[in-house]
């Protein structure tokens, strides 16, 4: 016999089966020893009240063995099959490759950056020596920008594909099975590189190919058909179709597409700062108690406000995390956030950003479709100049930023290159800074203590998404003008994180396989 239950438990009760087995037994009216197994299938935290509850969805087995709750996927050998080019080895590209193998096609991936091990060394140089390799950094390289992030897997894009399948594949390649049950799953930047490396090994073992240090510089076009790629070493690769999964920071790809007459569209994006607090302060605000204790994870938050007809919201919140230097070229300053699997840093950070619409950028309109991209560049270069032309980041105490005064000193921070006190309230574009300042005040009304002198704002968080979209046909997923070209993932404007990018990679693989039949 098996039976499903929903349990509302204290954090301690939910922490171990020893504590919740008696609760289940009581619901069944049996002795705890009569229960064969309890499998947790869903888990979430309800912190809306002072008495925090953990909600567990469990399946109870009596008199029978528990069944395997998730699927394993099998990948055959495609070494002699039809090749499909994939540009980029982020989640969109990697999951497109795995799906193509399932469908009997040979993926050939071209990645401008390095494998995940070599990439780590280049990232370390950014922290230690302030040296940014334009092809190997937090944005470029095996696994894409998500590899060195919190590894968040939550997505609202559930109608576009199977989130469950994406999570099951990640578990198959080494992710913690807990991601299958958590309401807001994450892997952690310390574990995700290993998962990515094992996916690469599977693609190669199945006869696929992956080329690192291989930047795509042009498309091979014959009329309205894309028939291959040109690489930075001059080599040409002919193929049946191309999945373009380059991520939101590959500006040279947008420029190359534009030169080839491939349609691009301006779209809404967001820009702002990283805001960092002591994690203990966020715990106190969110859990309504001085100490979260041993049974609760580092607290998270999510805020959305409307300020002067534009959204101001938190983005990519990293509890127990770090702020990192995420520039993808020399001469720019960009910050992002990440967390390890245990989320045990003493700091909490999040992007705090303002919606930017194409019509907001009148002074950049002479750049045409590239207005948003040029606006991004201008602010990133400004922040680089404010910090002394290095990866030191301009920063300001939160209270000083809101009050409009320069900080005399700065609190401790997770940002290892270092912070430089700067008047971000007046240096950032007014459309951004004024809305951020008002947004912080509004957020503090909902979470008292958010507006504090204990934390900092750090500039600039500018790569929340691409300011451009590569338009594609809604049904075939091919570019609206160029056949056999499949714009995919965040860089094309169709995803917003690891899971949604992976889903879009699978969708593009399915669509092109259907066309190639």
pLDDT digits (tens, 9 = 90+) for 281-302: 999 999 999 899 999 999 999 9
**What's residue 159's pLDDT?**
62
**What's residue 1's pLDDT?**
85
Single pTM value for the model: 0.96
69: which residues sit within 8 A by CB, 6+ positions away? 39, 41, 59, 180
Rounded distance between C-alpha atoms, residue 227 and residue 87, angstroms:
14
**What's residue 148's pLDDT?**
87
Rounded distance between C-alpha atoms, residue 346 and residue 413, angstroms:
9
**What's residue 421's pLDDT?**
97
User: Residue 171: in which H helix or E strand, if any?
Assistant: helix 163-172
**What's residue 69's pLDDT?**
76
In 310-438, the DSSP E strands lie at 310-318, 321-325, 335-339, 347-356, 393-397, 419-421
Q: Residue 141: CA atoms inside 13 Å, Cβ hemisphere, count?
A: 27
What does pLDDT average to in each consecutive run of 10 residues of the chain (517 residues)?
94 97 94 94 93 96 86 96 98 98 98 97 96 96 90 73 94 96 93 96 98 98 97 96 96 97 97 98 95 95 97 96 96 96 96 98 97 97 92 97 98 97 97 98 97 97 96 98 97 94 97 95
Burial of 92-106, coded b for 16+ CB within 10 Å and e otherwise, reads bbbbbbbbbbbbebb
For the chain, the C-alpha Rg in angstroms (whole number) is 24
385: which residues sit within 8 A by CB, 6+ positions away? none
336: which residues sit within 8 A by CB, 6+ positions away? 138, 145, 149, 274, 316, 323, 324, 326, 351, 461, 463
């Amino acid at each position: 016999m098996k039976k499903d239950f929903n349990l509302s438990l204290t954090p301690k009760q939910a922490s171990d089966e020893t504590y919740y087995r008696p609760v289940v037994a009581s619901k069944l009216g049996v002795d705890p020893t009569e229960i064969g197994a309890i499998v947790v299938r869903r888990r979430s935290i309800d912190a809306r009240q002072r008495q925090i509850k953990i909600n567990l969805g469990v399946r109870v087995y009596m008199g029978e063995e528990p069944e395997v709750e998730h699927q394993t996927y099998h990948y055959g050998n495609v070494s002699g099959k039809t090749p499909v080019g994939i540009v980029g080895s982020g989640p969109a590209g990697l999951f497109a490759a795995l799906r193509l193998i399932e469908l009997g096609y040979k993926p050939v991936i071209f990645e401008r950056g390095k494998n995940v091990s070599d990439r780590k060394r280049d990232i370390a140089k950014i922290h230690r020596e302030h040296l940014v390799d334009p092809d190997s950094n937090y944005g470029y390289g095996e696994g894409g920008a998500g590899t060195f992030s919190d590894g968040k897997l939550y997505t609202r894009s559930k109608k576009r594909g199977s989130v469950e399948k994406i999570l099951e594949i990640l578990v198959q390649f080494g992710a913690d099975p807990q991601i299958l049950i958590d309401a807001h799953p994450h892997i952690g930047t310390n574990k995700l590189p290993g998962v990515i490396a094992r996916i690469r090994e599977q693609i190669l073992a199945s006869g696929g190919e992956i080329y690192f240090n291989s930047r795509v510089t042009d498309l091979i076009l014959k009329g309205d058909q894309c028939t291959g790629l040109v690489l930075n070493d001059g080599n040409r690769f002919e193929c049946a179709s191309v999945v373009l999964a380059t991520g939101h920071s590959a500006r040279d790809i947008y420029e190359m597409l534009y030169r080839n007459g491939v349609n691009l569209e301006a779209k809404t994006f967001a820009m702002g700062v990283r805001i960092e607090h002591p994690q203990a302060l966020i715990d106190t605000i969110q859990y309504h108690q001085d100490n979260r204790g041993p049974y609760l994870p580092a607290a998270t938050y999510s805020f959305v406000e409307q300020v002067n007809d534009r959204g101001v919201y938190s983005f990519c919140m990293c509890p127990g995390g770090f702020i990192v230097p995420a520039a993808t070229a020399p001469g720019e300053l960009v910050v992002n956030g990440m967390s390890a699997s245990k989320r045990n840093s003493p700091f909490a950070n999040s992007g705090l950003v303002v919606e930017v619409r194409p019509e907001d950028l009148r002074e950049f309109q002479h750049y045409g479709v590239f207005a948003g991209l040029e606006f991004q560049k201008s602010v990133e270069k400004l922040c680089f100049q404010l910090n002394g032309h290095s990866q030191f980041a301009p920063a300001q105490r939160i209270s000083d930023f809101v009050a409009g005064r320069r900080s005399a000193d700065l609190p401790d921070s997770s940002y290892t290159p270092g912070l430089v006190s700067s008047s971000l309230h007046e240096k950032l574009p007014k459309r951004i800074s004024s809305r951020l300042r008002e947004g912080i005040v509004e957020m503090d009304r909902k979470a008292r203590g958010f507006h504090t002198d204990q934390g900092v704002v750090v500039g600039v968080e500018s790569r929340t998404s691409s300011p451009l979209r590569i338009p594609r046909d809604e049904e075939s997923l091919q570019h609206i003008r160029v056949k056999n070209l499949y714009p995919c993932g965040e860089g094309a404007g169709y995803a917003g994180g690891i899971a949604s990018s992976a889903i879009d990679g699978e969708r593009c693989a399915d669509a092109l396989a259907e066309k190639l039949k």
